Amino acid sequence: MNSSEEMFALYQQVSSQKAHLQAIFKSLKELIWFKDINGVYLTCNPMFERFVGELEADIVGKTDEVIQTRDNTEFLNVLKHYTSDNKHAHVREEWLQCGSDGKRYLLEISMTPVHDASQLIGVLGLGRDITEKRLAENRITNLAYFDTLTGLPNRTLVRERIEQAMQASTQDHSFGALLLIDLDHFKMLNDTLGHEMGDRLLKQVARRLTPCVRQSDTVARIGGDEFVVVLTHLSKDKNEANAQAKEIGLNILACLNQPYVINELAHRSTPSIGATMFQGHQADLDNLLKQAELAMYKTKEGGRNNLLFFDPSLENAVMERVQMEADLRLALLGKQFLLHYQAQTDENGGIKGCEVLLRWQHPQRGFIAPVDFIPVAEATRLILPIGEWVLEQACTQLAAWSREPELAHLTLSVNVSALQFLQRDFFDQVVSVLTLTGASPHRLKLELTESLLVANVEEIIAKMHLLKAQGIGLSLDDFGTGYSSLTYLKRMPLEQLKIDRSFVNDMLTSANDASIVNTIISLSKNMGLRVIAEGVENEAQRNFLNQAGCPEYQGYFYSKPLPLDQFLAFARPAPAMA
């Protein structure tokens, strides 16, 4: 092969390689461009053309300021990296850039210096669209660290924030505080209105909590209806820090007590808040959470809707509560529960009926008062099987009395907890028990508490009408101490109002309580309802109630709660004298 043929073959090879390189250059999905040292475009690929919205011929010879209204300063700053000591350095940055379609893209920009011998002649740029990648990363981060319902930090992230707060406290010797917030009766709302309504309430709670704290603090949702607030950089003085935390906690309490609007209806929800202080790492993270939880449970036991700070004595109380729960479960299996009966009389002492009252005879601890175990039973939902057992026993007794002429007229009142009543199948349970025992529904009276009315009032009233249609009597217990209003009261198919013992106890010494008692009696008469006063302990109380027009009484003045055999001896007429 002569030299001409060799040169021609070499030319064809170079041309082929150049064409091949051009094809690769034009087919790449990345944005590629080449600029001189003044930032003037010398070439670009089709992807860059499409992104900018202009052809290469219109791009070449221009700078960013002309074709993209982007400041050329960024490019000139890049050039500073390409010094004689760093002339082969690569620069990688992320730029937020607007494309020709008007959308904003996040581009990962890589720029490489191009030299001719030792002289810098330009910069080769490559851009990748990482918008979706970053969005996906953010979604993964959000799922890992943020609550999907409220957008607040979740349990994982708040643990990191608490750890950071403890570390900051170690460094500057300031105090921090941890507040655990649990919504009262939230499960009742979920069970009656549905989870969608519960979710709406949780979102509103989240929106209220954030403005209650400082920018350095953290609000998180750790699951269900539980929220955590982490307070940082409080005072270095413990008493002052405690006062600061208490002020924020009480502000949260007041804020969450304001009425909520759910489906255009006003709803009241209250929080129970447990708080604990920390300084540095004197207690580990899990212990801090446990302390706040103990304080929160103590708040609930004390009546809810309050703020309490952790005290070491709470740990002993909680251990007792745990033991109480275990003993309650054994009591159900071991038949340790008993029923006592307290007479309900007219003004002459004639027995019209009785209220059945639950008692617990523990094999080792002896008699345990209802005030000690009923709150634990409600908190653990053991009140449901216990309440079902009480109803079955009461109806069995009613059926037995119906076969004795001197007892057949007696009514039997059974207390029903809010949790029981709000069960979806409660009506069916009652009807089933009446059918199985043969008890007369007209002799059964269900005593309901006003705490029922914190939830779906419409559904509650509808269920009450179903029970009333069966002939079952309904009494509103502890009237005047809860949530009822006259609007709801006139719609409920009640048979009776029960004056709470707290008013009866103080009505002889308190003008306010006396006025309340008179008002309840008058209200009952005007609404065509029977009225009974509980906690009547002496003759003076009975006389006051009698003069006020109250026709029925229950209390120690007539009889204390009695075991069945003693109640029957009390209730049966005395045998006629020969």
Distance CA 247, CA 228 (A): 16
User: What CATH class is the domain 146-311?
Assistant: alpha beta
List CB contacts of 285: < 8 A, sequence separation 6 or more.
159, 162, 163, 166
Residues 446 and 412: their CA atoms lie apart, in Å, by 8
CATH code, 321-570: 3.20.20.450
Strand stretches in 117-157, DSSP E: 119-129
Tell me, what's the pLDDT at 484? 54
Which position has the token pair 């150049």? Answer: 18
Of the options 3.30.590.20, 3.40.50.620, 3.30.450.20, 3.20.20.10, the CATH number for the domain spanning 27-134: 3.30.450.20
d(CA 533, CA 499) in angstroms, rounded, equals 5
Residue with tokens 């120690």: 556
Alpha-carbon gap, residue 39 to 76, rounded angstroms:
7
- Which residue(s) pair with 185 in the sheet? none
For residue 20, the model assigns a pLDDT of: 56
Query: Residue 211: how many CA atoms within 13 Å on its side-chain side?
Result: 7
Which amino acid, one-letter code, is at 118? S
Domain boundaries, the chain: 27-134, 146-311, 321-570
Give the amino acid at 211. Answer: P
Element (H, E) at 158: helix 155-172
Partnered with residue 31 across adjacent β-strands are 127
Q: Spell out, as residue ranges, where the chain has pLDDT lower than 50.
A: 2-4, 7-8, 11, 14, 69, 72, 83-84, 578
- Give the pLDDT score at 533: 94
- Cα 88 to chain centroid distance, Å, stands at 58
pLDDT, position 504: 93
Beta bridge partners of 496: 475, 530
CB-based burial of residue 261 (10 Å sphere; 0-12 exposed, 13-18 middle, 19+ buried)? exposed
Q: How does 393-407 read in b/e, with b if 16+ C-beta sit within 10 Å?
A: bbbebbbebbeeeeb
d(CA 570, CA 574): 9
pLDDT digits (tens, 9 = 90+) for 210-245: 999 999 999 999 988 999 999 999 999 999 999 999
pLDDT score, position 11: 46
C-beta of residue 336 within 8 angstroms of C-beta of residue 312: no
CA dist., res. 509 & res. 505, Å (int): 9
- Which secondary structure element, helix H or strand E, spans residue 524, and what is its range? helix 511-526
Residue 84 is predicted with a pLDDT of: 47
